[in-house]
Structure 1
Amino acid sequence: MLLVRNSLFLLSSFFLLLAAAESSVFPPCEPVNETVAVEKEGCPKCLVFQTSICSGHCYNRDPLLKIPFPSISQSVCTYGNVRYETVRLPDCLPGVDPLISFPVALSCECSRCTVDTSDCTVQSLQPDFCMSQRLDFPAY
């Protein structure tokens, strides 16, 4: 009985230590400054600027028993509150709206991925990736 109690104590201590290490190693889900690029068909230059996006770690559990259709959803670091700002792309062709609106993260949260405001893919393009000629814009 003493061996079982000691084993349970060691096991629970290990998990507490692991949780503490995880919280100190991985950055929390919060707004961070990031370089972002926007471009639009009909505008020959993409615009690169600084904004706030959500980034960081969200705690998730992965079940040991793998079933085909799990009911557990994994949470991601996504927007809580946002403010939208608008920039004007330069040198757009006549008839092309040069205005682009983008979200600025005011707060972030760990929740299910919302495809309306987040890139929910496994691997996406880098935030400052442009297909067209770059034009740097001063930070807001």
Structure 2
Amino acid sequence: MNPAIFLSFTLIFALTLRHSMSFCVPVEYVIHVEKRECAYCLAINTTICEGFCMTRDSNVKKLLPRSALTQEVCTYEDVVYRSMLIPGCQHHAASYYSYPVAMSCKCGKCDTDYSDCVQEASSTGYCTAPQKLYNL
């Protein structure tokens, strides 16, 4: 086989495999919103981006440019923001809460302007006030 053709097939296969091995999709998630000035904790069902993105660990890190060492994360491709009124708030309290809804996801650089780029999720999935559930 011609080396150029073999190289082309190998490159196409690698690019196809890279995208097929990435499992970065919107998943259901519950956000708990609680404010001292409000009588209720609001549990909002929404979607966030979650999943596995192909990464690489180069053995020759010192020889490659810094841009080649960037690891990709599962992040938003298309996102919309919705607002909810938290019930039972005092009149002076800011009673609206805006939250993201992932419409589609992609593997890419984590942008700290709109994403939390932490490795572990925080354990704040609870309410201390009575709960009100809101479904999308």
1:101 partner amino acid: S
| Identity value in percent | 34
In structure 2, runs of 5+ residues without a counterpart are 1-13
2:74 partner amino acid: C
Q: Look up the match of 2:110.
A: 113
Answer yes or no: is the 8 Å Cα contact 1:51–1:104 preserved in 2: yes
Q: Which piece of structure 1 moves more, 28-37 or 41-50? A: 41-50
SS of the residue aligned with 1:80?
Answer: strand
Answer yes or no: is the 8 Å Cα contact 2:40–2:132 preserved in 1: no
**1 or 2, which has the higher strand percentage?**
2
TM-score (norm 1): 0.69
Distance 1:63 1:44, change over 3 A: farther
TM-score (norm 2): 0.71
Q: Look up the match of 2:101.
A: 104
Q: How many residues align?
A: 117
Q: Which runs of 4+ in 1 moved over 4 A?
A: none
5 Å matches for 1:42-81? Answer: 42-65=37-60, 71=66, 72-81=69-78
Q: Look up the match of 2:132.
A: 136
In structure 1, runs of 5+ residues without a counterpart are 1-15
2:40 matched to 1:40?
no
Answer yes or no: is the 8 Å Cα contact 1:42–1:96 preserved in 2: yes
Q: Look up the match of 1:82.
A: 79
